[in-house]
């Protein structure tokens, strides 16, 4: 990608409000079949207005809450939807959520993953309810475990960047999203995040990067990427 004058783009602001459980946000949470902590679940759940489990993600939610420090908290976290081909959803989990009135949809489409099916369901719900503003999509899981699933998550973020304004994927160790060409201003709450960030190329061979506000900034850094990531420490927003 050749250098582009900064004046050609407006500045896109980014902030991570979905990590604040006291802030009611227009978020849609999709839980994948990967491990996560109760503290992280609580943060993203209570800042979301729509909750879905992608197939075996319901197993993770159910098992974490069935015995959480000796307490059964399942009734406090009831999803709106469980969707996928349902090859991973256990019978006991399906029976439990069915008894609580959760919508469970089996979709055997082999051309889409369970995550894609949940995103499709969100889009359908938005159209049915005639929402003017899109939900911010928060994907819980997707950056650990099997490599092909991690790559799929990153690929899907890249594909969605022109159709959804805000799509984040989060684990207990990471939060990731796509920065398209242009200028971006990222506000970070360092009580929730550590001191490092990484710039990872997706779908490009080369780019020019300039950063401010980091401990070690890049100035017109011309990068030809070959599976290269650029870790940096950030000491302010």
Domains of the chain: 15-178 (3.40.50.10240)
Query: Which is more confident, 17 or 102?
Result: 102
Q: How far is CA 50 from the centre of its chain?
A: 14
Token look-up 């939900």 returns 135
Strand ranges (E), 108-200: 136-140, 167-170, 175-176, 183-187, 196-199
DSSP class of residue 58?
A: H
Q: Kindly report, residue by residue over 181-194, the tens digit of the pLDDT.
A: 888 888 877 776 77
How many other C-beta atoms lie within 10 A of the C-beta of residue 213? 14
Report pLDDT digits (tens) over 44-98.
Answer: 999 899 999 999 999 999 999 999 999 999 999 999 999 999 999 999 999 999 9
**pLDDT tens column, 18-59:** 777 666 668 999 999 999 999 999 989 998 999 999 999 999
How far CA 58 is from CA of 65, 161, 164, in Å, comes to: 11, 27, 25
Compute the distance between CA of residue 193 and CA of residue 183 in angstroms, rounded to an integer.
Answer: 22
Neighbours of 148 (CB within 10 A): 8
- Which helix (H) or strand (E) segment holds residue 99: the answer is helix 91-99
- Pair type for strands 221-224 and 206-209: antiparallel
pLDDT of residue 115: 95
Strand order in the sheet with 50-54: 103-106, 81-84, 50-54, 27-31, 136-140, 167-170, 175-176
CB 157 within 8 A of CB 169: yes
For 194, other C-beta atoms within 10 Å of its C-beta total 11
Spatial contact of 181 and 206, defined as CB atoms under 8 Å apart: no
Q: How is residue 180 annotated by DSSP?
A: -
Structure confidence at residue 95 (pLDDT): 98
Is residue 5 scored above 50 in pLDDT? no
User: Which is nearest to 217 in space by CA: 194, 203, 197?
Assistant: 197
Q: What is the pLDDT of residues 131-174, one digit of tens each?
A: 778 899 999 998 888 888 898 898 899 899 889 989 999 999 88
């Amino acid at each position: 990608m050749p250098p582009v004058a900064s004046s050609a783009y407006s500045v896109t602001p980014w902030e991570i409000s979905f990590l604040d459980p006291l802030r009611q946000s227009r978020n849609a949470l999709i839980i994948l079949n990967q491990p996560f902590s109760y503290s992280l679940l609580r943060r993203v759940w209570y800042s979301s207005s729509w909750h879905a489990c992608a197939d075996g993600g319901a197993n993770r939610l159910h098992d974490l809450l069935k015995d959480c420090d000796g307490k059964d908290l399942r009734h406090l976290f009831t999803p709106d939807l469980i969707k996928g081909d349902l090859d991973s959803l256990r019978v006991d989990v399906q029976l439990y959520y069915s008894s609580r009135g959760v919508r469970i949809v089996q979709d055997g489409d082999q051309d889409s993953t369970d995550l894609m099916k949940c995103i499709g369901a969100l889009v359908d719900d938005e159209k049915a309810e005639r929402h003017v503003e899109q939900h911010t999509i928060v994907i819980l899981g997707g950056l650990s475990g099997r490599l092909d699933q991690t790559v799929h998550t990153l690929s899907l973020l890249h594909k969605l960047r022109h159709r959804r304004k805000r799509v984040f994927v989060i684990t207990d160790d990471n939060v990731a999203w796509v920065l398209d060409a242009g200028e971006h201003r990222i506000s970070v709450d360092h009580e929730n995040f550590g001191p490092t960030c990484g710039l990872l190329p997706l779908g490009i061979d080369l780019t020019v990067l300039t950063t401010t506000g980091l401990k070690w900034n890049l100035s017109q850094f011309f990068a030809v990427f070959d599976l290269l990531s650029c870790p940096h420490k950030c000491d302010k927003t």
